[in-house]
Structure 1
Amino acid sequence: MRINVYSQELTNELVPVMKKSNTGLVYSAVQIILHSSERLHHPPEDDDRSAVTFWLPKSNHRREELAQTFERMAAMVRNAPSETGLD
């Protein structure tokens, strides 16, 4: 699967997520909230904004690997050649 998120959709808003499943397990995630029209939103208890959600692995080892992947991605962003795209 490929997911494309365009620079115009990006925000700097991150949201921690915790969900308890019907089996009693608790899952953690980090969401990157995407820009969307304010006309789509209702009260805070009905947050239907678009987001990319990264569900976190259970083990500390795999969480560290994921964190390192995000750090490498940040380095690639900083080192990428200048583009003429839109902000």
Structure 2
Amino acid sequence: MRINVYSQELTDEVLRIEKQSNTGVTYSAVQVILHSSEKLHHPPQDDDRSAVTFWLPKSVKRRERLAQAFERMADLVRTAPHETGLD
């Protein structure tokens, strides 16, 4: 699967969320909130905004590997050529 998020959709809003399943297990995730029109969310308490959600693995080792992947991604963002992309 490939997920494309365009630069115009990016925000700096990142959340940590937790959801309890019907089995009693609590799952944690980090979520990158994407830009969407305020007209789509009525009333304001309706938070069904678009987002990319990364559900976290249970083990400390796999969580650390995921954190390292995000850190590598941040480094690639900072070192990418400036003349590419749209704002």
**Cα distance between partner residues in 2 of 1:43 and 1:19:** 22
Unaligned runs of 5+ in 1: none
Query: Where does structure 1 differ by over 6 angstroms across 4 or more consecutive aligned residues?
Result: none
Question: What is the CA deviation profile of residues 14-59 of structure 1, one whole-angstrom value per residue up to 9, with x for unaligned ones?
Answer: 1111000000000000100000000001235421100000000001
**Cα distance between partner residues in 1 of 2:4 and 2:28:** 23
- 5 Å matches for 1:44-83? 44-83=44-83
Determine helix, strand or coil for the equivalent of 1:69. Answer: helix
User: Is residue 2:28 matched to residue 1:43?
Assistant: no
Superposition RMSD in Å:
1.1
Number of residue pairs aligned between Structure 1 and Structure 2: 87
TM-score where L is the length of structure 1: 0.94
**Cα distance between partner residues in 1 of 2:48 and 2:24:** 25
The one-letter amino acid paired with 2:74 is: A
Unaligned runs of 5+ in 2: none
> Matched residues, percent identical?
77
